[in-house]
């Protein structure tokens, strides 16, 4: 749905905290009856049929606590969310998403960079009805928030990528599917569309090639022992923020770029068939980083098949694996998971970085849909990206997970926007924890902001509902804080609303 949405209703529809008790008297019966009938938490209707009331979620959380005694499914404090996730998740799973490279200097620097930018609110401005919508590559999105591509989500909760994709779809947030996912792309699409996955037909499927991408669905091979939807733990919904109509899930595809062009062609063909709108090419993860928290426990999920679902379900990769291992008698991926994992890792984490001229191959395979490069930190690379013909870049240091000591992403954002913002869609990633963080990045010139770890913490704590609650809370904070800042639309955010102040003692971080 491309129409712009506002975060609040018209003047007569604005939430009024002074009338909250009176409203509760009128609505308590309706909410209680609905909740009892559906065995879920209270659900608040959207204020206006044309808008998602992002800020209303704050009122709903108060209403839920005051009328039912139920607290939020996860904490709303970004500094406490990490600890709550640590207590709920397995040690290895938590360390994998929490941990950074080396001594985590870049991860901490990302947070310090946000703290050194202070907002300057403006007063006596009409900020209603607010409109959080942004236009990216010719399409209007309801908000400037995107779900960052994060792999191996089965390590955090059985709901995994499907759970986060559903949470994003419920709030009309684009979900970026990771090459390192633990769930095949087609399985997620089927879950979002509430249809059964297509039946595999390997007998008639044409192998993909770099010259001519396939248009048929790949063979799907769920990992042995994978939980089905019916056997997964189920938690009651806590999100009271709902769209006005059935959402049209927006999905993008993130590529860890294989060495083999045939495999690349097959993956991109599948993404196109699955309806992925934008290709996000991650540039900074062609090899594994030095991550002490994982090294000390020996946790490398890709080595044992976890996070390899996209490759293991790909017909071209499977055929190449069969050809390579046919003499051993273990010529199917399922026959030798360790060998298949090494082969797949050798493709996507080969240690060999692609070159700028190789982008022409991606353009040929992806066609005229937008291509975005993720991991750009230098002005020089941003200029090269503009010259290469891609459509956008994401200023990112991979959340401090790749090169320890790298410059904070936010530090480079203004320079990069000044250099190429008129030629490329510049987006931002790394270190985002709060709604005000989102506003700061937008004010510095980003057109959209990716959020990662907080949503995964919500997933680890309470599955799909936890991820949805974290996203809804972030949207509500963006909405409310934008109003307090004195802005009615995202387009009004600019650098005049910020000042960089480096306090020597301002070292507290929310990680």
How confident is the model at residue 247, as a pLDDT?
A: 58
- Supply angle C-alpha 384, 251, 470, rounded to 5: 105
- Tell me the C-alpha to C-alpha distance, in Å, between residue 447 and each of 394, 479, 487: 10, 16, 16
Burial class from Cβ neighbours inside 10 Å (0-12, 13-18, 19+) for residue 86 reads: middle
Torsion (CA) 380, 441, 46, 23 in degrees, nearest 10? 180
Question: CA 323, 329, 335, 340 torsion: positive or negative?
Answer: negative
How confident is the model at residue 6, as a pLDDT?
A: 37
- Tell me the C-alpha to C-alpha distance, in Å, between residue 499 and each of 55, 205, 427, 449: 26, 57, 21, 20
How confident is the model at residue 164, as a pLDDT?
A: 98
Contact 126, 482 (CB under 8 A): no
Question: CA 303, 304, 306, 310 torsion: positive or negative?
Answer: positive
Domain segments of the chain: what residues? 11-146+174-250+281-373+388-408+424-437+448-468+482-500
Name the 3-class secondary structure at 274: coil
Angstrom distance (rounded) from CA 464 to CA 455: 10
pTM (global) more than 0.95: no
Give me 381's structure tokens.
């690379």
Contact 6, 130 (CB under 8 A): yes
Angstrom distance (rounded) from CA 53 to CA 451: 20
**Which numeric CATH code is attached to 11-146+174-250+281-373+388-408+424-437+448-468+482-500?**
3.20.20
Q: Where are the alpha helices (DSSP H) in 313-445?
A: 315-325, 337-348, 359-366, 379-388, 409-420, 435-443
How confident is the model at residue 234, as a pLDDT?
A: 32
Calculate helix-pair angle for 453-485, 91-98, nearest 10 degrees. Answer: 50
How confident is the model at residue 51, as a pLDDT?
A: 56
Calculate helix-pair angle for 409-420, 379-388, nearest 10 degrees. Answer: 40
How confident is the model at residue 511, as a pLDDT?
A: 52
The residue written with tokens 């949805």 in the block is 468
Active site residues: 398
Q: Which region, left, alpha or beta, applies to residue 423 given φ > 0 means left and ψ of -120 to 50 means alpha?
A: alpha
How confident is the model at residue 195, as a pLDDT?
A: 42
Name the 3-class secondary structure at 65: helix
Q: Which region, left, alpha or beta, applies to residue 439 given φ > 0 means left and ψ of -120 to 50 means alpha?
A: alpha
Angstrom distance (rounded) from CA 119 to CA 112: 15
Name the 3-class secondary structure at 6: strand
Give me 132's structure tokens.
């959080």
- Tell me the pLDDT of the chain (511 aa) as tens digits: 343 333 333 333 333 333 333 333 333 333 333 333 333 333 333 333 345 779 999 999 999 999 999 999 999 999 999 999 999 999 999 999 999 999 999 999 999 999 999 999 999 999 999 999 999 999 999 999 999 999 999 999 999 999 999 999 999 999 999 999 999 999 999 999 874 444 433 333 343 444 443 333 333 333 333 333 333 333 333 344 544 445 567 999 999 999 999 999 999 999 999 999 999 999 999 998 999 999 999 999 999 999 999 999 999 999 999 999 987 777 899 999 999 999 999 999 999 999 999 999 999 999 999 999 999 999 999 999 999 999 999 999 999 999 999 999 999 999 999 999 999 999 999 999 999 999 999 999 999 999 999 999 999 999 999 999 999 999 999 999 999 999 999 999 999 999 999 887 776 655 5
**Structure letter (DSSP) for residue 335:** G
36 contacts: CB under 8 Å, gap ≥ 6: none
């Amino acid at each position: 749905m491309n129409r712009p949405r506002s975060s609040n209703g018209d003047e007569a529809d604005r939430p009024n905290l002074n009338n909250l008790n009176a409203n509760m008297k009128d609505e308590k019966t309706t909410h209680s009856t609905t909740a009892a009938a559906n065995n879920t938490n209270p659900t608040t209707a959207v204020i206006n049929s044309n808008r998602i009331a992002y800020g209303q979620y704050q009122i709903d959380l108060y209403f839920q606590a005051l009328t039912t005694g139920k607290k939020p499914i996860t904490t709303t404090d970004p500094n406490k969310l990490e600890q709550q996730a640590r207590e709920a998740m397995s040690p290895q799973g938590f360390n994998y998403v929490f941990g950074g490279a080396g001594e985590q200097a870049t991860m901490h620097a990302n947070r310090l960079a946000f703290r050194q930018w202070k907002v300057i609110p403006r007063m006596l401005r009409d900020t209603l009805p607010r409109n959080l919508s942004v236009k990216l590559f010719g399409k209007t999105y309801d908000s400037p928030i995107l779900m960052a591509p994060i792999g191996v989500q089965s390590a955090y909760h059985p709901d995994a990528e499907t759970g986060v994709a559903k949470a994003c779809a419920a709030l009309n947030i684009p979900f970026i599917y990771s090459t390192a996912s633990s769930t095949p792309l087609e399985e997620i699409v089927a879950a979002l569309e509430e249809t059964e996955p297509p039946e595999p037909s390997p007998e008639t499927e044409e192998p993909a090639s770099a010259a001519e991408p396939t248009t048929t669905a790949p063979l799907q091979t769920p990992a042995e022992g994978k939980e089905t939807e019916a056997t997964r733990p189920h938690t009651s919904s806590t999100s009271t923020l709902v769209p006005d109509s059935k959402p049209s899930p927006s999905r993008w595809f993130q590529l860890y770029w294989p060495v083999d062009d045939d495999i690349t062609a097959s993956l991109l063909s599948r993404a196109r068939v699955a309806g992925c709108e934008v290709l996000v090419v991650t540039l900074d993860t062609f090899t594994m980083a030095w991550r002490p928290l994982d090294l000390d426990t020996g946790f490398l999920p890709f080595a044992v098949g976890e996070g390899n679902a996209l490759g293991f379900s790909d017909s071209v990769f499977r055929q190449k694996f069969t050809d390579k291992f046919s003499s051993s008698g273990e010529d199917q991926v399922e026959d030798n998971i360790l060998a298949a994992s090494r082969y797949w890792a050798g493709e996507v984490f080969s240690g060999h970085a692609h070159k700028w001229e190789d982008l022409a191959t991606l353009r040929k395979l992806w066609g005229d849909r937008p291509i975005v490069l993720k991991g750009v930190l230098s002005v020089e690379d941003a200029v090269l990206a503009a010259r290469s013909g891609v459509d956008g870049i994401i200023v990112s240091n991979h959340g401090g997970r790749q090169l320890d000591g790298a410059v904070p992403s936010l530090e480079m954002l203004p320079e990069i926007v000044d250099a190429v913002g008129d030629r490329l869609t510049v987006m931002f990633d790394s270190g985002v924890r709060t709604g005000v963080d989102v506003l700061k990045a937008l004010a510095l010139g980003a057109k959209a902001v990716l959020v990662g770890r907080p949503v995964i913490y919500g997933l680890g704590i309470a599955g799909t509902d936890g991820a949805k609650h974290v996203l809804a809370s972030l949207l509500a904070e963006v909405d409310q804080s934008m109003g307090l800042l004195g802005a009615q639309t995202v387009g009004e955010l600019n650098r005049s609303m910020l000042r960089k102040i480096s306090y020597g003692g301002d070292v507290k971080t929310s990680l």
